[in-house]
Amino acid sequence: MPDSPSPHITPAPGITTSVLDLIGNTPMLQVRKFDTGLCNLYLKLENQNPGGSIKDRMALNMVEAAERDGKLKPGGTIIEATAGNTGLSLALIAQQKGYRLILVIPDKMSQEKIFHLRAMGVEVIITPSNVTYDHPDYYQNKARSLAASMAGAFYIDQFNNPANAEAHERTTGPEIWEQMEHKVDAVICGSGSAGTILGLGRFFRARSPDTEIILADPKGSVLGPYVQTGVQPKAGSWLIEGIGKEFVSPNLDLSLISQAIIVDDIESIRTVRELLLKEGVLGGSSTGTLLAAALRYCRQQKTPKRVVTFVCDSGSKYLSKIFNPKWLKDNGIPN
């Protein structure tokens, strides 16, 4: 259990006594040193959340919803399947709230993330990433069966938990709307658990129906082709972490998505490395996919538009991979 707060602490105005209160209200940065055609492109810096990613929002909302519903009791156990950032966000929240956390993760996760999780006391179970989604060792199936075998454990299930999308509909969307002074022509985001794109899609459909919601998807994922054609292809493989899927989630609402832009690993990694050199922003691998898609979209426009995308997490979690010349060479990525 976490230590009890010191009774003599009286926070000054503007000072918080919980790191969880720092989740959200992230800054917006206008891109200046990339060619954005006729458009203005803005980056919402979700790497500034205390857990280092956009996943802090939905992780907190899912835990608090489970508490309200009585599914998560004091001192209980949370189990989740994650490709990385959701796990780190849950680790922060579980630590602060006094829960045990067990994470099932695919083996393509960066070592930095695994070290971070273990440093926070998380129990990590690593599964192969080269199995199909119907295999018992597929990370979501493994987590689900583990939770079913443990009395009192709560499988948080970000992929089917309505509190995931709700977090973005309730916080991320309104923040963008206010920061952009109610002028948003397009929002480009990825999809892993589908929470971000669903939440933003619902918010903007209600508030600004003309705002386009555009999926940026890694080549190899089935989501981009499915949005483009309505047919689910056979999944390939990709190096980018946290976005893309081997199957179409039942909760993916295509009516919210205007179009999909597919970006391969080489373009994604090149773009996120350029982001650091040009704008001084150290983004993670999925940020490269989103930014590459946003730049393509901006350069295709025939009229000026105001476009938003995300720095989903920090590149410090990928120093051994996308910022490592040896790893790039070993994976056939030009340095």
CA 231-234-238 angle, to 5 degrees, is 115
> Which residue's structure tokens are 């909302």?
61
Residues 6+ apart with CB under 8 A from 72: 63, 66, 78, 99, 154
Q: What share of the chain is helix, strand, coil (3-state, %, to 5)?
A: 40, 15, 40
Catalytic residue, candidates 33, 44, 55, 326: 55
Tokens of 278: 């040009």
Chain centroid offset of residue 126 CA: 20
Catalytic, 321? Answer no
Count of residues making up the chain: 335
* Distances from the Cα of 209 to the Cα of 36, 91, 187, 273, 307, angstroms: 24, 36, 12, 34, 15
Rg (CA), the chain: 19
Contact predicate 214/259, CB 8 Å: yes
Report the distance separating Cα 301 and Cα 212, nearest Å. Answer: 13
Catalytic residues: 55
